[in-house]
Amino acid sequence: MDSLKSSNLGYPRIGVNREWKKLLEALWANKIQESEFEKKIEELRLNHLKLQQEKGIDLIPVNDFSLYDHMLDTAAMFGIVPKRFNYPGGVVSLSTYYAMARGSKGAPACEMTKWFNTNYHYIVPELNDITPVLTINKPLQAYREAKQKLGIDGKPVLIGLYTFLKLSKGYKSGQWDELIALFLPLYAQILRELEQEGVRWVQIDEPVLVSSLSVEDMDRITHIYKQLHEAAPGLNIMLQTYFDAVEHYEATVSLPVQGIGLDLVHGYDRNMQHMAKHGFPKDKVLGAGLIDGRNIWAADLQSKLTLLNTLSQYVPYERMIIQPSCSLLHVPVTTGQETKLGSEIRQVLAFANEKLDEIVLLTKAVADKDSEPIARELEKNQQALREINASSSRKKEHIQEMVERIDQQPSARAGTFAERRILQQNKWNLPILPTTTIGSFPQTSEVRQARKKWRTGEWTEEQYKTFIQEQIRLWINLQEEIGLDVLVHGEFERTDMVEFFGEKLGGFFFTQNGWVQSYGSRCVKPPVIYGDVEFIKPMTVEETVYAQSLTNKPVKGMLTGPITILNWSFVRDDIPREKVAYQIALALRQEVEALEKAGIEMIQVDEPALREGLPIKRQDWQHYLDWAVLSFRLATATVKNTTQIHTHMCYCEFHDIIDSIRELDADVISIETSRSHGELLHSFEEHTYDHGIGLGVYDIHSPRVPDVKEMVHMIDRSLSVLDPELFWINPDCGLKTRGMDETIASLKNMVEAAKSFREKSPVLSSSL
């Protein structure tokens, strides 16, 4: 390289108007033929490349585009298809590819889990008894397409071998060397073919390098990259890391590659400390991840130029590339359609396209320090940041004072769990193995249409309120007929568990088109926390009190917890995340107190995203867990001992954080476990859990109705390690996406299973 270059690491797949999502769903619904699908997908893919070309990005990634997920792409490229899909070998067909992602009539889908600590989900490859083969060189195919059709000399992107293996399943720890030996020749072949094609740079993503790796891990990684360098010595490899700082810095920068990409946003402190202490190799290019690829705020460009000047002390500009901190997959496409936002907000937003503009501007600013147009752009950026930071939305002194004195806020229940449990048993007089649901009931097309009519003004507030009350009344009656012990109002007024609260709290705004991919074709539009979060008025009291008026059984109040609201939003970046969490918690506490004052004395504060917020490095876990637990307790600690606090979580390698979950001090926790029930039970064999707990007894993600016998078996397994006096019976998760008939049938079977177990099981004989 002869001068500072710009690069991108990956571009959003979904399209400005979610064209990608619509094409996938049209194919799945048989509304378009496969040939038409492939043609339109190619147009979309080329348009994304052309946009980056027109913006002036020097190194444009290719093969970052996917028809579902990049881990699934890699598995398919190596013919890693579980036997249940009857794969005949060769290039994996589109139907088999999507069957792996979504399941088919005869074969359940592959597991899906979070991509590191992001809100993106990947498909987990299954390596059980499979010998990999290179079915197609996808990076080469993508490179040729870009070169031939757009004249772009692209930078092929490939998930690194060690990251791919670490994120796969179906093998034992002792098989590492065997697996590496199987895959390494295939990776070498890919790189050799890229080198022969004339590719200049290939980006190999190894985000696993920022996790808590052992010395043995690094030895294996060193072996891998020595072999890959020998296979294609003329190819420039950019070894790309992101999401945090490199764990073994000296060993990583010593690898036989030509470039190292570092996250200088989320891994800024440690990566800079490493460079200050150890320098940076004189024979390598630095991929400087300066622009935040995970959040939507405009960068402080003057600050970034200062950082570039600091970096130039370790690496001259001619051996430096300016790029995002990670792929732009995690942010929306463009702010161009956000026409309803005020200028104060809009001018400090940067989605994917705007982040590319920032990268190019920084590259030009270094090359031409005296350019007046660049100076004007930099001053415009600084003025926008000054305005938002001076905004009254970020100057709520009463909120900031409470957060600064957070240690003076009540954060512990008045009584111990043992004391509360006796009082709550006397108050509620529930049977052993009480039955309940997680919160939501089916949101039918009728419910969605009603909400749309209300939002567009076709319905008045009163019409919509009447409709919601009719739905609540219907489902309160159904729950009583089914025989549930603790009821819920159904959440028919809510589109999304975070959006609902964000719309009612101060400090949030919502985009018109700020969609990001969550998994497959599912896109979400996260709320944006831009100012100090404050309680304005009760948010859930009216519907919950109405539901309670219809029954003598207890109705749970339903809230989303502070950590889930935080982790599923785009969060302001001018103050630490923990302070934002405390603000949300203090606002939710007022809602909890309002519910209790209104006579709702079972309150569920859901935290499905608690575990996914864990930092990548284990050494950082405890600090996060400390403030996450404190946030939950701030929201729930001020209620009476007779008020029962529930929470709900998704299955999350429970054993890793069981002590922190116990520290939440919730009276009852329900956990989504049906797909990993055995693994969770093993955790309870090793760790005692002494609060109320419900393990999902059936999987709500499937339309099938489990029979009573199946659920009895699940209960029986759970009670082999859990105290029946503390056990609750509930579905795995909320029922919003399920059909009405299947929901009623499944809940009837669940109640019958609980009754059957109460009557017949010897486990309960001493309790009955």
Q: State pLDDT tens for residues 557-592.
A: 999 999 999 999 999 999 999 999 999 999 999 999
What per-residue confidence (pLDDT) applies to 113? 87
Give domain status of residue 403, yes or no. Answer: no
What per-residue confidence (pLDDT) applies to 688? 74
What per-residue confidence (pLDDT) applies to 652? 55
Give domain status of residue 766, yes or no. Answer: no
Least confident span in 166-180, 414-428, 607-621, 695-709: 695-709
**Is 655 assigned a catalytic role?**
no
Give domain status of residue 256, yes or no. Answer: yes
21 annotated as belonging to a binding site for a ligand: yes
Does position 755 have pLDDT exceeding 70, yes or no?
yes
Does position 457 have pLDDT exceeding 50, yes or no?
yes
244 annotated as belonging to a binding site for a ligand: no
Query: For residues 371 and 375, what is the distance between their CA atoms, to the nearest angstrom?
Result: 6
114 annotated as belonging to a binding site for a ligand: yes
- 712-717 average pLDDT score: 86
Residue 633 carries which side chain, given as an amino acid letter? R
CA 144 to chain centre: 33
Helix, strand, coil % in the chain, rounded to nearest 5? 50, 15, 40
Does position 761 have pLDDT exceeding 70, yes or no?
no
**Cα–Cα nearest to 732, from 478, 442, 438, 494:** 438
269 annotated as belonging to a binding site for a ligand: no
- 335-347 average pLDDT score: 92
Give domain status of residue 675, yes or no. Answer: yes
Print the SS3 string covering 361-422: HHHHHHHCCCCHHHHHHHHHHHHHHHHHHCCHHHCCHHHHHHHHCHHHCCCCCCCCHHHHHH
Query: For residues 86 and 169, what is the distance between their CA atoms, to the nearest angstrom?
Result: 19
What per-residue confidence (pLDDT) applies to 203? 98
Give domain status of residue 64, yes or no. Answer: yes
Cβ-contact 158, 139 below 8 angstroms: yes
What per-residue confidence (pLDDT) applies to 657? 83
176 annotated as belonging to a binding site for a ligand: no
Does 374 lie in the same domain as 431? no
247 annotated as belonging to a binding site for a ligand: no
Does position 157 have pLDDT exceeding 60, yes or no?
yes
Does position 420 have pLDDT exceeding 90, yes or no?
yes
Does 499 lie in the same domain as 379? no
110 annotated as belonging to a binding site for a ligand: no
What per-residue confidence (pLDDT) applies to 654? 66
What per-residue confidence (pLDDT) applies to 768? 43
Domain count, the chain: 2
- 23-39 average pLDDT score: 97
- 329-345 average pLDDT score: 94
Does position 461 have pLDDT exceeding 90, yes or no?
yes
**Cα–Cα nearest to 79, from 161, 186, 239, 152:** 186
pLDDT in tens, 629-652: 999 999 999 999 999 999 998 755
Which residue in 229, 682, 701, 713 is the catalytic one?
701
| CA dihedral sign, ordered 34, 37, 38, 39 | positive
Which tokens belong to 83?
A: 């036997």
Does 373 lie in the same domain as 464? no
Does 136 lie in the same domain as 192? yes
Does 354 lie in the same domain as 478? no
Does position 655 have pLDDT exceeding 80, yes or no?
no
**Domain membership of residue 483 as a residue range:** 422-759
Structural Rg of the chain based on CA atoms: 27
Does position 554 have pLDDT exceeding 90, yes or no?
yes
pLDDT in tens, 49-77: 999 999 999 999 999 999 999 999 999 99
Q: How confident is the model at residue 680 (pLDDT cuts 50, 70, 90)?
A: low
685 annotated as belonging to a binding site for a ligand: no
| Mean model confidence pLDDT for the chain | 93
Entry pTM: 0.92
Give domain status of residue 354, yes or no. Answer: yes
Does position 656 have pLDDT exceeding 90, yes or no?
no
Query: For residues 330 and 518, what is the distance between their CA atoms, to the nearest angstrom?
Result: 9
319 annotated as belonging to a binding site for a ligand: no
606 annotated as belonging to a binding site for a ligand: yes
Share of the chain above pLDDT 90, in %: 82
Cβ-contact 612, 564 below 8 angstroms: no
- 82-91 average pLDDT score: 95
Does 310 lie in the same domain as 452? no
Highest mean pLDDT among 415-419, 496-500, 655-659: 415-419
672 annotated as belonging to a binding site for a ligand: yes
Q: How confident is the model at residue 294 (pLDDT cuts 50, 70, 90)?
A: very high
568 annotated as belonging to a binding site for a ligand: yes
Does 440 lie in the same domain as 308? no
Length of the chain: 768
What per-residue confidence (pLDDT) applies to 444? 87
Does 495 lie in the same domain as 368? no
Least confident span in 73-77, 179-183, 432-436, 761-765: 761-765
What per-residue confidence (pLDDT) applies to 479? 97
Does position 677 have pLDDT exceeding 60, yes or no?
no
Give domain status of residue 707, yes or no. Answer: yes
CATH number for the domain harbouring residue 472: 3.20.20.210
Least confident span in 147-161, 338-352, 651-665: 651-665
655 annotated as belonging to a binding site for a ligand: no
Does 348 lie in the same domain as 497? no
Give domain status of residue 415, yes or no. Answer: no
Does 355 lie in the same domain as 433? no
Does 366 lie in the same domain as 464? no
Q: How confident is the model at residue 20 (pLDDT cuts 50, 70, 90)?
A: very high
Does 22 lie in the same domain as 150? yes
